[in-house]
Structure 1
């Protein structure tokens, strides 16, 4: 009886992984076709076993960012950043697709691949050795993380580089893309302090021929959102 329960449990887990893979894979394909004008963007997939091995079973010693649940891992001979996500699968897929579109820009965190077998997909990115920008700007975080505070010349250079990445996001594609979630926790730094923009979960595309689109209304309650968006709930290409 005990063995029977064990095999039933294993079969259920396998079926859940297969269901998640097909559902997430379909969503990924749908968003790639809609966002990339049917241009093929190869996105490698990894199994849960590969990610477990890469992170030593998601050991706490490999956890490098607690708030957003990001692990340092070793995958196929390279150091990577593995993002475990909460929330909705479609937002995670959105992050992956737009990151893939933007991967040619030197100031965007490049995706390496994903795992679609979990209910919420797990994303794999290039590793950013110096963590998030917030840890180098906020005084209490600088002390906590034992980083050296960033000088103003470096801050201004990072601001210019991120502004260039955002301009590319707005102008490089047939449909302008608006990031919608800009903050210092979504800017990572590599070993040379080169900034890498990330966190495209809530990004939206302006349809061709349109001048505005509805944004995620939850942001209307944030103090930093644009006043016209707070007032109307719409994002404009000229605002």
Structure 2
């Protein structure tokens, strides 16, 4: 299935030649919807749909008209966040992701298709946002997923946005455990380990009961069988959530996701954005060392104790034993040396152990 991502150019050439010789044009006029469907990998999607053969969580191909009707022509009243629109299809509430990127790049279109394919592979897990399908009749593919009524975790996390919806420590710990389980499944649920590469609070959605749903698999990448890492472009990531080895030499392993998850734990523990944590930590260090530090990583070789002191002074209110144990886990996750970081399976196991603290 993963080879599909690598034959997009060949598929596109085949389609171009088919259109070029006029065979299709003779039989019927080509609509823009049909052309976009072919260019966006519609044939590959049909293969994917067929491959499920009614098993697991089958996905479907939506038409442009169906989604326009479902979202009331993408009415702004239904706009939620990050390009997601609320819609109703066959009496079911759905999410439709409509991103405006012009001109649309083949890389982005490939990410949309990959999002559907990877999420479909992972859809049996209760903490993965389930894809229902996509529409390839538009210039940029539209993604259709189950509805996540509460939106993004980032909407409930940060101290500057404290209000009635601000999450308690108990809810934060539960959500962290759920996402750790989902990432563990991503790493171990198929023959090839899949690296998410974009784990952050914006890509964690919440259903009506605040159950966490990992989303946005467009940047994900698989590690070839027999290998321990893969080298790839960095693409677009958030400051502070990228592992040092990925930033410096473009190397990705399972421990890359562990680092990003550690950054999420820092935000969960403090109610602060990683970008703000970096500013606060390194401004203090700069004063102590009488020099300017501008670091993009949570941990540098000799500042572990400084990070520990910062967390102890800035953690939110809650069960102190749980908070401090989780702080130690977060520090382990963002170690500079990836070999010193725990696996996601170990992280999930430790979080469940912490949950049992009274």
Confirm or deny a common fold (TM above 0.5): yes
* Correspondence for 2:33: 17
The CA deviation at 1:220 is: 7.7
Runs of 4+ in 1 over 6 A off after TM superposition: none
- Preserved CA contact (<8 Å) 2:150 2:208: yes
**In terms of Rg, which structure is larger?**
2
The CA deviation at 1:27 is: 4.7
Which of structures 1 and 2 has the larger relative contact order (alpha carbons within 8 angstroms, sep 6+)?
Answer: 1
Flag the structure with higher strand content: 1
* Correspondence for 1:185: 202
Q: Using the alignment, how far apart are the partners of 1:165 and 1:77 within structure 2? A: 29
The counterpart of 2:63, out of the listed 38, 47, 68, is: 47
212-221 vs 154-163, which deviates more? 212-221
| CA displacement 1:75-97 (0-9 Å, x = unmatched) | 01100011112452101111111
- Preserved CA contact (<8 Å) 1:135 1:142: no
1:85 matched to 2:99: yes
SS of alignment partner, residue 80 of structure 2: strand
| Alpha-carbon spacing, 1:142–1:63, altered in 2? closer, same or farther (3 Å) | farther
- Preserved CA contact (<8 Å) 1:27 1:93: no
1:74 matched to 2:88: yes
1:1-239 correspondence to structure 2 within 5 Å: 15-24=31-40, 25-28=42-45, 32=48, 42-65=58-81, 68-87=82-101, 88-143=108-163, 147-219=164-236, 222-237=239-254, 239=338
Flag the structure with higher helix content: 2
Calculate the TM-score normalised by the size of structure 1.
0.83
- Preserved CA contact (<8 Å) 1:221 1:230: no
Report the RMSD for the aligned CA atoms in angstroms: 2.3
- Preserved CA contact (<8 Å) 1:220 1:230: no
Alignment gaps of 5+ in structure 1 = 1-10
- Preserved CA contact (<8 Å) 2:200 2:241: no
- Preserved CA contact (<8 Å) 1:137 1:150: yes
* Correspondence for 2:298: none
Alignment gaps of 5+ in structure 2 = 1-27, 102-107, 256-337, 339-358
